[in-house]
């Protein structure tokens, strides 16, 4: 089984996320033992950001790293496990609120695909980039 980075690369819809993780030095972490639960914004989610936002984030490694870490939770949590939590502690340090009132939302993002297994965790696809 492939790790989180390899699984995301193979999916083909996380090019921006992978470039950002590489730039922030997190690709190595997400290729490590983990386990991690990643709420992964798709390329479409990154496309919703204001023009120039991704480029400026790629230049600000500290801010980029904080934002990416806000999408990652320690441990492997299935969609069912996520639904049972009112909030999840991210590796960035802040809590990510879980809202089940309209589908499954984490923070301001809707979870659009769940339980993509990787050797070192799980990926849940979200439709919006979460900001800290």
pTM here?
0.97
Which domains, from first to last, does the chain contain? Answer: 4-126 (2.30.180.10)
d(CA 32, CA 38): 13
Matching residue, tokens 């470039």:
19
pLDDT tens column, 105-132 = 999 999 999 999 999 999 999 999 999 8
Strands (DSSP E) found in 9-129: 36-41, 72-74, 87-89, 95-99, 105-106, 109-118, 121-126
pLDDT tens column, 61-115 = 999 999 999 999 999 999 999 999 999 999 999 999 999 999 999 999 999 999 9
Contact present, 64 and 23 (Cβ < 8 Å): yes
């Amino acid at each position: 089984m492939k790790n989180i980075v390899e699984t995301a690369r193979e999916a083909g819809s996380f090019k921006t996320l992978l470039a950002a993780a590489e730039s922030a030095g997190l690709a190595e972490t997400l290729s490590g033992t983990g386990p991690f639960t990643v709420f992964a914004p798709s390329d479409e989610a990154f496309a919703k950001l204001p023009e120039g936002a991704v480029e400026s984030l790629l230049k600000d490694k500290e801010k980029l790293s904080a934002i990416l870490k806000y999408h990652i939770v320690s441990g492997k949590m299935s969609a069912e496990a996520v639904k049972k939590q009112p909030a999840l502690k991210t590796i960035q340090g802040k809590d990510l609120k879980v809202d089940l009132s309209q589908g499954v939302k984490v923070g301001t993002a809707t979870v659009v695909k769940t339980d993509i297994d990787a050797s070192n965790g799980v990926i849940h696809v979200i439709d919006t980039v979460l900001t800290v």
